[in-house]
């Protein structure tokens, strides 16, 4: 039996990201936490990010037209929470948590080196929705820690200890898979070792 609730954004869990943006007037970098973020398109690579217009970062991103999506690991959970509840108008959150900024290659906004994955983005469009505006951003390039890339070049996000958010709580990503894309319809591989045929000698 299920209980019915009124319409609400009850999509859980969601990924967490630390978004860096640059104040063009002061040249300072700000960071804030978002949970309403997702993949919007693969070609061209595009993300959707919902941001409240009253957020300090909203002003910076709208003016500069760029941002970096930094994916934090579980050791940054305190910074993730803090950056979601404190405003950059009041405190320098980068300095407060001693986060290391590294220069991006496609945009002027730096990324956070402590995050295992960082995606440089430019703003394509801003769509007013209600409490939030939807930012559609193009992913220009990405930076990934070498220690989660295997010898074949595959990125193992499960080894990055990434965080996700679920109904007011933070959880680490598990690193054991229970399936892979398409496994439910994948044909089983035939054994290469065929049994030897017995020959009858007369």
Per the structure, the complete domain to which residue 137 belongs is given by 14-172
In a domain, 120, yes or no: yes
Instruction: List the CATH number of the domain containing 153.
Output: 2.30.110.10
pLDDT bin (cut points 50, 70, 90) of residue 58 is very high
In a domain, 185, yes or no: no
- Dihedrals phi, psi of 148, to nearest 5 degrees: -115, 15
Q: Based on the structure, what is the number of domains in the chain?
A: 1
In a domain, 201, yes or no: no
In a domain, 4, yes or no: no
The β-bridge partners of 15 are 164
Contact 163, 80 (CB under 8 A): yes
Rounded to whole angstroms, how far apart are CA atoms 48 and 162? 19
pLDDT bin (cut points 50, 70, 90) of residue 191 is low
Q: What are 87-107's pLDDT values in tens digits?
A: 999 999 999 999 999 999 999
pLDDT bin (cut points 50, 70, 90) of residue 197 is low
Rounded to whole angstroms, how far apart are CA atoms 83 and 77? 10
Contact 143, 117 (CB under 8 A): yes
The total number of residues shown for the chain amounts to 202
In a domain, 94, yes or no: yes
């Amino acid at each position: 039996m299920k209980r019915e609730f009124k319409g609400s954004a009850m999509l859980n869990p969601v990924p967490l990201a630390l978004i860096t943006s640059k104040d063009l007037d002061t040249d300072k970098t700000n960071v804030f936490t978002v949970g309403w973020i997702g993949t919007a398109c693969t070609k061209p690579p595009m993300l959707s990010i919902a941001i409240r217009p009253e957020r300090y970062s909203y002003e910076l991103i709208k003016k500069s037209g760029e941002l970096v999506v930094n994916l934090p690991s579980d050791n940054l959970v305190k910074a993730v929470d803090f950056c979601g509840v404190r405003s950059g108008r009041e405190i320098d959150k980068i300095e407060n948590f001693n986060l290391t900024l590294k220069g991006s290659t496609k945009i002027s906004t730096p990324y956070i080196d402590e995050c295992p994955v960082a995606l440089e983005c430019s703003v394509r469009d801003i769509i007013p929705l209600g409490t939030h505006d939807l930012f559609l951003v193009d992913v220009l390039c990405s930076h990934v820690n070498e220690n989660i890339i295997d010898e074949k070049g595959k990125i193992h996000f499960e080894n990055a200890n990434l965080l996700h958010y679920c109904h007011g709580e933070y959880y680490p990503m598990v690193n054991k898979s229970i399936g892979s894309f398409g496994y439910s319809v994948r044909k089983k591989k035939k054994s290469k070792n065929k049994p030897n045929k017995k020959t009858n000698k007369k």
